[in-house]
Amino acid sequence: MISFVNLTAQREKYRFELEKAEREVLDSGCYIGGPQVQALEKELSEYLGEKIHAITCASGTDALTIALMAMGLCPGDEVIVPDFTFIAPAECVSILGSTPKFADIDRETLQIAPESVKKLIGPRTKGIIAVNLFGQSAPFKELRKIATEHKLWIIEDSAQAFGAKVSSNGDIQKACSFGDIAITSFYPSKPLGCYGDGGALFTANEDLAQKIRMIANHGSAGRYQHEIVGMNSRLDALQAAVLRVKLKHLNEELPVRRQNAAKYDAFFAEYNRTAAAGEKIVPQKIAEGNDSTYAQYTVLAENRESFIQKLTAAGIPHCIHYPAPLHEQPCFGSSEVRNANAKWASEHAVSLPVCAFTNVAEIIEKLKV
C-alpha cells in the first residue's frame, strides 16, 4: 500500500532520536512551554536567519488568527485572500468579524495573482494574506509593491512551505521572511510536521513579536497581568521535541522531495507527448528562482475524471486540493465573485504523493501501464 504521506517510514528512520527526545520530555515533568519550546523557537529563527523572531503556537489556524489580531484587524475591515487554497486564511478573517475578499490565481503557478489583488483594494482594505501554495512562494515582489503603494500589510501563510526559498539576482530569501508576519503549520503531514497540531509565527519586527507572544498567552506579558484580550495557543513540549528532531533532517528531506518532483516532471513531459487529445497532465508551474517544499505534487489534469480512474485502478493515493474556490463554499457563498482561474484549478487539480519517503519510481511505473 502506498501512503499519500509516508509518516511511518519517516518515524522508522529517526526512531532512535525521536524516542530519546520524547522520553526526555515525558520524564522531565515539563509539558507546556519550557526548555524544549524555547530551544525550538531559537532553532527555527536560526534556520530563517537570526533577525527573524519565531513564536510557536497551537496550530497554523491559530497562528493566522493571532497574526490578524496583532495587525489590529477590526470588524468591517477587509483582507484580500486567495480564492484557491485551504479555508483557514479566509476563515480567520471572518471569525474576527472582517470580510475576506477573494483574489483570483495565476493559472499556471496557482498562486495569488497580483493583478487580481489590485482590483480588490478599496477604502476598507487593511492587508493581504498571501499563501505559499503547495510549497512554492507567492509572488512577494509584486505583492510588496502593491502593499507599499496602498499602505497594506502582508501576512505570509507558509503553512505548506517552511523551508522554501526564492533566488533572485544572487540573493536567496527564505519563505517565512516575506510577510510583515509569516505563519506556518506543523500539522503532521506538512513538510515540517509534528505528532499533533502545532504552528508558529515569524516576524522581523520586535514590537510585533512581543504582541504576538502576548496574544498567544492570554494577552499577558507577566503572570496574571493581562494587557490585551488574547487567547490560549501553546505548542506543547512533546511536539517541540519532535519538531527539533525533524528540523535537523529537513534540509536532507527537501532535496529528496525536489528530486521526486523532478521525476514526475520528466514523466509527465513524456506522457503528454503521446497523450490523447484532452488527456494532458500539466504540473503546477514553479516560477523562476523558486525552490518549492512540494508539500504535495499537484497537477492539472485536462480530464480529471479519467486520470483519477487511472490512479485508483493503479492503487496510487491522490487528493483534490481543492475541490471548490473558497468563495463558493457555503459559509462564504458569493455569487458576485468571478474567479475563472480559481474555478478552473478546482476542476482540474489532483495531488500526488511526493514526500521524501515516497517511492516515486514505483508510482511512475504503475502509471506507465
Residues that bind ligand PLP (CB under 6 A): 59-61, 85-86, 88, 131, 157, 159-160, 185, 187, 197, 199
Shortest CB 355 distance to ligand PLP, Å: 15
The DSSP code for 355 is S
Shortest CB 298 distance to ligand PLP, Å: 12
Toward ligand PLP, which CB reaches closer, 139 or 199?
199
Shortest CB 87 distance to ligand PLP, Å: 8
Indicate the residue whose CB is closest to ligand PLP: 60
The whole-angstrom separation of Cα 153 and Cα 151 is: 7
Contact 7, 189 (CB under 8 A): yes
Shortest CB 12 distance to ligand PLP, Å: 24
The whole-angstrom separation of Cα 64 and Cα 69 is: 9
Toward ligand PLP, which CB reaches closer, 257 or 310?
257
Helix 237-274 and helix 360-368: axis angle, to 10°?
A: 30
Toward ligand PLP, which CB reaches closer, 160 or 346?
160
Q: What is the CA radius of gyration of the chain?
A: 21
Toward ligand PLP, which CB reaches closer, 63 or 147?
63
Give percent helix, percent strand, percent coil of the chain, each to the nearest 5: 40, 20, 40
Q: Which residues pair with 81 in a beta bridge?
A: 102
- All three cell numbers of 228, joined, read 490585551
Shortest CB 197 distance to ligand PLP, Å: 6
Using left for φ > 0, alpha for ψ between -120 and 50, and beta otherwise, residue 141 falls in: alpha
The whole-angstrom separation of Cα 59 and Cα 185 is: 6
Shortest CB 63 distance to ligand PLP, Å: 7
Toward ligand PLP, which CB reaches closer, 59 or 125?
59
Toward ligand PLP, which CB reaches closer, 82 or 230?
82
Phi, psi of 328 (to 5 degrees): -90, -10
